[in-house]
Amino acid sequence: MFNMTSLKARKARFLNRWHARAATRTRAQVKGFVSSPEPRTIGSFARGRQLIAGNFLFAGTLVNAPGQSMWAIEPPDANYAAELQGFSWLDDLAALGDPAARSAAQDWLWGWIEIYGKGKGPGWTPDLTGRRLIRWINHALFVLRGQEAAQSKAFYRSLEQQTQFLSRRWRGAAPGLPRFEALTGLIYAGLALEGQEALADPAIKALARECSIQIDDQGGLPTRNPEELLAVFTLLTWAGAALHDVGRTPPREHLAAIERIAPTLRSLRHADGGLARFHGGGRGVEGWLDHALAASNVRATQPEGLAMGYARLSAGRTSVVIDADTPPVEDASVNAHASTLAFELTSGRRPLVVNCGSGASFGLEWRRAGRATPSHSALSLGGFSSARLAEPDRHSGLEELIDGPTHVPVEISSAPDGLRFQGGHNGYVKSHGLTHARTLELTLDGRGLAGEDMLLAMEDGDKRRFDAALDAGELKGLRFDIRFHLHPDVDATLDLGGAAVSMALKSGEIWVFRHDGAHNLSLDPGVYLETTRLKPRAAQQIVLTGMAFTYATRIRWSLSKAQETAIGVRDLSMDDPYSDDD
């Protein structure tokens, strides 16, 4: 079958190669910087030490090659190669900052120029070139110290070549984060390098247009990926700071985008400072979110209602973030997760209820598993997802999320003792005739979360679908599972009799899960997926299982914090929260 996406990709690769080689033939003009660049990226001291020791951990794969150049390594996959070529690791070496780190940075940077500087190799894409330019300019003083004139000349010539390439090829970057990276890199280079000033103005205008197109009224991206939104926000603040450094004011659209995104990120920020993990995004590097928000100088509070399609309940030391919208569509759907109405809960500095996360760094099978509803703290019917994964594209191996929820009504209001979230989605109507409705109530002190999940056949057509699904199962009922994935640091125990689960956090807090007693409660093995790890982490999950026989099925449960008293641990949940039988 003719594949337009693959044709576009092949055309883009051809144009990248052509423009990269053309850029290497330009007459050198750059001999230095207009002004000394100030580093704004944040590196990891620990990762810097790992690199010096020859432990190259990128995209979830570790290659141990002490004493070797990273360019002598055969990248195990394209994601690994991209992380090498993007030079974000230069932040880590600069964070370490000792003579050994500088020597390694210099060897590997000039090694790249020697091997790839003539316009060949996987690094000549607009987004990676933009990412690489930002790092080279940020850490120029670090890498140029002690270098000979010939090496400095090669450095500046390569900067110019990459800048010229970007000026011709930034439009080839995919909309969203890749294009923001390409344009920010071009702005950085245009403002910082001698003789490249004329390239800055078109890039500044183009970035402003992208802000208007890509950043919606809620301060969100089409992908609904919180970590990707933070990356875009960081790039915009960097570009804005670079403009201020040379006495220029960013365009109105640029500043407005920063002002829209900042409150949204605050809504997606858990009590421990990490991001909610949805739609392929992770928690972010520790301290990154707080640093980015502080650098933006935007003091706006969290918005009312939804933020990029997420709802937030926060009280005391507890934060709850809920996916309260339909999954991303079109191009963004290749990374979307079937997570509608899933939630995460963090108590103080400790995550408690989480989603499994993105398994993309562990291969296609883990990537596919991580996107399914059972990998989220949500309700699933018979192991099905609330959205279906299409067959993978034979060229890219990626599949789209299709047939998902199209209607997600939401209401956030006050409850007698706290805050209430009410939402529903129609992701199971087409397959089972059932609408899933979820209510979450967080107490004012943040010490208790009461939940109610309902499965409803609402319209006559829905009831007929439900009856047909029931008949197909020989009237044994439609099985549902409500999962609560626990962070790996949570020590959970199923109480005798299977009536409750006790969960101990490393902070010493004890949380207790209870339910209405009408369904089966189990504590099963789970998994926690992080791109910075070599393999998935073992975890646990609470699973509440039951069967739907009628047009209306209700399941009630609670999470409550216990406190230590003179006679031991006391459960702070209501004495009998399920006493009414209505």
Tens-place pLDDT, residues 38-97 = 778 888 899 999 999 999 999 888 899 998 999 999 999 898 999 999 999 999 999 999
Both tokens of 53, joined, read 């020791």
pTM, two decimal places: 0.90
Categorize the per-residue pLDDT at 31 as very low, low, confident or very high, splitting at 50, 70 and 90: confident
How many Å apart are CA 115 and CA 111, to the nearest integer? 6
pLDDT at 401 > cutoff 70: yes
Lowest mean pLDDT segment, chosen from 11-20, 344-353, 514-523:
11-20
- Cα distances (angstroms) measured from residue 392 to each of 343, 396, 400, 401: 28, 8, 7, 10
CA angle 178, 286, 281 (to 5 degrees): 40
Average pLDDT over residues 468-483: 89
* pLDDT recorded at residue 266: 94
pLDDT at 29 > cutoff 90: no
Both tokens of 218, joined, read 């809620």
- Per residue in 405-430, pLDDT (tens digit) is 999 999 999 988 899 999 999 999 99
* pLDDT recorded at residue 150: 92
Percent of the chain exceeding pLDDT 70 equals 89
Higher pLDDT, 376 or 498: 376
On the CB side of 66, CA atoms within 13 Å amount to 3
* pLDDT recorded at residue 6: 47
Categorize the per-residue pLDDT at 146 as very low, low, confident or very high, splitting at 50, 70 and 90: very high
- Per residue in 486-506, pLDDT (tens digit) is 999 999 999 877 889 999 999
- Per residue in 304-320, pLDDT (tens digit) is 789 999 999 999 999 99
pLDDT at 1 > cutoff 70: no
- Beta pairing class for 310-315 and 379-381: unpaired
How many Å apart are CA 512 and CA 396, to the nearest integer? 44
Average pLDDT over residues 269-292: 92
Tokens 């190799």 locate to: 121
Q: Is the dihedral of CA 189, 264, 529, 291 positive or negative?
A: positive
* pLDDT recorded at residue 182: 98
Helix (H) or strand (E) holding 412: strand 410-415
The length of the chain, given as a count of residues: 582
396 neighbors 5 (Cβ within 8 angstroms): yes
Average pLDDT over residues 114-139: 95
